[in-house]
Amino acid sequence: MVRRLLLSYLIVIGVTVTLLTLIVQLATSQTFSRYLSDQARAHSEMLPVMLAGYYSAHGTWEGVQPNIDQASILIGAQVALVDTQGRIVAASQREMIGQIASIAPSLMIPVVGSGGTIIGEVHVGRSVAQQRADAAFLSDVTRALFIAGLAVALLAAGLGVLLARSISQPLAEMSRAADRMAEGDYAVRVPLRGQAEVVALARTFNQMAEGMGSVERLRRDLVANVSHDLRTPLTVIRGYLEGLRSGQIADRRSAEMAFEAMHAEVTRLLRLVDDLRQVAALDAGGPSLERRPVAVADLVSDALGRIEPVATAKGVTVLNQSSTDLPQVSVDAGRMGQVLFNLLDNAVRHTPPGGTVTMQAGYAPGSRGNQAHVWLTVQDNGEGIPAEHLPHIFERFYRADRARGEGGAGLGLAIARAIVEAHGGQISAQSDGVPGHGSTFTIRLFL
């Protein structure tokens, strides 16, 4: 990659410097020629007037040679006088007299007589020494342009090498990092260095790597958690079925207990399957909602009614401290009831016997910077949530206590957050992680 970039830079530099040198050389040559012509014209302005006066006084060009010699010495150039027949009648180079020619290169100035007719032409040209000096000057200019162009080309090539490396090296690092990602190493990162565009690309690459790493972790957690949560109930069901088949469970009472246990485990499996189905629905664009105005008190009472048998069986007291004069909210009653029951169920499971779970609901009027909303909280005095786990509890497949087999595959809170946010609300959790202080989950439904 470096070679290709460098070769491209060198080609562009070479073509640019060559064209620039040719253009400057051509412009210098033309400008110098115009300068010489203007200089000769300025020095020769009086020459046609002097020659016209001589012709007017003598009526012929005979004897004009001394005047031509003197003019040549004064203006420092070759001078030749040509009559109306095109023949040189006087010249600073005497060998040209009598020829039908002119000095090349030369400046031709007409000589106008008293009647306004042209009586001859005077040709002013550079001497041989001057022509050599002119050629030497142009040669020096060309050489200077060549040296300057070469220096610029070398400097540009050096800068091109640095630029090519600054671009290609980060790209090469990203290519190697991409190969490592293809091999399953999602922890790879590329340094943020180089041009601004390359840095932006590297930052995007790192974000992609982090996202793919998160997806891979979620996949592994899914496989581990789901396999664990499937294995436990299936093992229980298998044990009871083998007991029934072998005759070890023979009496009616034992058989009823076995069927109740298997029913509970099947219910647990169905709950896990339902959670996975809801996760699939979230990935497909979020849960579908059938919203209608619902009284907050009805949502609270329905959720408490469902959790009451579970709390009683564990010896946990459930309290309702909600306000009675709350406005209605436009929600999907079934979905929101699922969220409240999930929070209450988690609170009961993580509260020891004799503990208390409190459900509260209230109204917060709108104020500057705050929108009016109804809030619902579920608070317990159980074991609480450690501070290091609190920021992650709403993530999919995340469980604060992986050693504890309860709590499903870690999908309940993720589903709860998705449902609340689909209603345009917010859900949050607070806990200091101190056993006995418990945790508080808060839902805000904006009006």
- Least confident residue range of 72-81, 123-132, 379-388, 394-403: 394-403
Please say if the pLDDT value at position 399 is more than 70.
Answer: no
Q: What pLDDT does 228 receive?
A: 66
What average pLDDT score do residues 381-390 get? Answer: 84
- Least confident residue range of 172-186, 220-234, 297-311: 220-234
Quick check: 304 and 320 in contact, CB under 8 A? yes
> Which residue type does 243 have?
G
Q: What pLDDT does 319 receive?
A: 92
User: Could you tell me the pTM of the whole model?
Assistant: 0.50
Q: How confident is the model at residue 404 (pLDDT cuts 50, 70, 90)?
A: very low
Please say if the pLDDT value at position 37 is more than 80.
Answer: no
Please say if the pLDDT value at position 151 is more than 80.
Answer: yes
Please say if the pLDDT value at position 402 is more than 60.
Answer: no
Please say if the pLDDT value at position 104 is more than 60.
Answer: no
What average pLDDT score do residues 370-382 get? Answer: 89
Please say if the pLDDT value at position 109 is more than 60.
Answer: yes
What average pLDDT score do residues 123-134 get? Answer: 70
Please say if the pLDDT value at position 71 is more than 90.
Answer: no
- Least confident residue range of 106-115, 127-136, 357-366: 127-136
Top-confidence range, 73-87, 103-117, 275-289, 432-446: 432-446
What average pLDDT score do residues 124-136 get? Answer: 70
In whole angstroms, give the CA distance from residue 262 to residue 284: 33
Phi, psi of 231 (to 5 degrees): -65, -40
Q: What pLDDT does 405 receive?
A: 37
In whole angstroms, give the CA distance from residue 436 to residue 447: 34
- Answer with the residue of higher pLDDT: 4 or 119: 119
In terms of Cβ atoms closer than 10 Å to its own Cβ (0-12, 13-18, 19+), residue 285 is: exposed
Q: What pLDDT does 443 receive?
A: 93
% of the chain surpassing 70 pLDDT: 86
| 271 Cβ contact list (under 8 Å, min separation 6) | 408
What average pLDDT score do residues 91-111 get? Answer: 74
Q: What pLDDT does 215 receive?
A: 75
CATH homologous superfamily for the domain 292-446: Histidine kinase-like ATPase, C-terminal domain (3.30.565.10)
CB atoms within 10 A of CB 286: 12
- Answer with the residue of higher pLDDT: 348 or 277: 348
In whole angstroms, give the CA distance from residue 312 to residue 62: 144
Closest C-alpha among 137, 145, 135, 140 to residue 25: 145
**What are the domain boundaries of the chain?**
196-283, 292-446
Instruction: Kindly list the strands in the beta sheet with 317-320, ordered across the sheet, starting from the edge strand earlier in the chain.
Output: 317-320, 356-364, 373-380, 440-446, 426-430
Q: What pLDDT does 2 receive?
A: 56
b/e code 387-413 from CB counts within 10 Å (16+ = b): eeebeebbbbbbbbeeeeeebbbbbbb
Q: What pLDDT does 403 receive?
A: 34
Quick check: 80 and 69 in contact, CB under 8 A? no
| Residue range 154-177, pLDDT digits in tens | 887 777 777 777 777 777 788 888
Please say if the pLDDT value at position 102 is more than 60.
Answer: no
- Answer with the residue of higher pLDDT: 320 or 133: 320
| Residue range 256-268, pLDDT digits in tens | 888 888 888 888 7
Q: Which two tokens stand for residue 355?
A: 């503990």
Please say if the pLDDT value at position 88 is more than 50.
Answer: yes
Mean pLDDT of the chain: 80
Please say if the pLDDT value at position 21 is more than 80.
Answer: no
Pick the CATH number of 196-283 from 1.10.287.130, 2.40.30.10, 3.40.50.150, 1.10.3720.10: 1.10.287.130
Locate all alpha helices (DSSP H) within 184-251, ordered by sequence: 196-246
| Residue range 203-250, pLDDT digits in tens | 888 888 888 887 777 777 767 767 766 777 788 888 888 888 888 777
Q: How confident is the model at residue 28 (pLDDT cuts 50, 70, 90)?
A: confident
What average pLDDT score do residues 139-166 get? Answer: 79
Q: Which two tokens stand for residue 392?
A: 């992650």
